[in-house]
Amino acid sequence: MKNSIKIQRAIKGLTQAGLAEKVNVTRQTVNAIELEKYSPSAVLALKLALVLDIKVDELFQLEKRDWN
């Protein structure tokens, strides 16, 4: 699942660690999501969108490979 977390995080002036703290996960979790190695739960996706002040469907985009 593609995402724009890194871009949105930069716009808000947040580090991975800063964002992680705000949504109560580790920096490694934020890194894995940004690198598309991990898809967050619905609750975590909502928290990320809320902190980054963006709609979930603007933050995350499904790709055809995600349908399998």
Q: What is the pLDDT of residues 9-45, one digit of tens each?
A: 999 999 999 999 999 999 999 999 999 999 999 999 9
The enclosing domain of 36 has a CATH number of 1.10.260.40
pLDDT at res. 24: 98
Residue 28 covered by a domain: yes
Is 67 among the domain residues? no
As to burial, measured by CB atoms within 10 angstroms (0-12 exposed, 13-18 middle, 19+ buried), residue 51 is middle
Tokens of 5: 């977390």
Collapsing DSSP to helix, strand or coil, 1 comes out as: coil
Whether residue 46 lies inside any domain: the answer is yes
Residue 35 domain boundaries: 2-58
- Number of structural domains (the chain) is 1
Is residue 32 included in any domain, yes or no?
A: yes
Domain assignment present for residue 64? The answer is no
Residue 62 above 90 pLDDT? no
CB 16 within 8 A of CB 10: no
Better-predicted residue by pLDDT, 67 or 29: 29
The model carries a pTM of: 0.91
In a domain, 63, yes or no: no
